[in-house]
Amino acid sequence: MAVLAHAEAGEIAARLRALALPPHQDLRAPENGLVMLRGRVGGDGAPFNLGEATVSRAAVRLASGEVGFGYTLGRDGEKARLIALCDALVQSSDFGGAVEREIIAPLREQLMVRRKQAAAETAATKVDFYTMVRGEG
């Protein structure tokens, strides 16, 4: 589900449109709020409060009973609702496979391509040290 949090709402919505969705309703209408982000002293010690982030959340229930929760950084309530819908669908035996295949897998692929490109650009800035040949003359 982490893949969905990294995708744009439009990308998720476009892929969801390709599925014949079962009836569903909002269990929790999209809501914006804050989450306090925590770090650790020294990176690996006791936690401390670093600062907050905006977060949107929603919950969706399928007519067949599955409940999905959607959380994402930012203030895009529609994205939170779409994530919640996907989370509910994934749990359904009728839709789980299709959501993984048609939505999550291609979005994961896109994310990996973006990350691979960024990693390659970063790698080009890695320093190669070499030893100067001493002038013995």
Residues binding another protein: number (CB under 8 A): 51
**Does 112 engage in binding with another protein (CB under 8 A)?**
no
Residue among 51 and 136 whose Cβ is closer to another protein: 51
**Does 131 engage in binding with another protein (CB under 8 A)?**
no
Spatial separation of the C-alpha atoms in residues 81 and 70, rounded to whole Å: 6
Contact between 39 and 48 under an 8 Å Cβ cutoff? The reply is yes
80 phi, psi to nearest 5 deg = -60, -40
Binding test (CB under 8 A) with another protein, winner from 74, 78, 100, 110? 74
The token duo for 8 is 């744009």
Is the alpha carbon torsion for 38, 77, 81, 74 positive or negative? negative
Binding test (CB under 8 A) with another protein, winner from 18, 23, 43, 132? 43
**Does 49 engage in binding with another protein (CB under 8 A)?**
yes
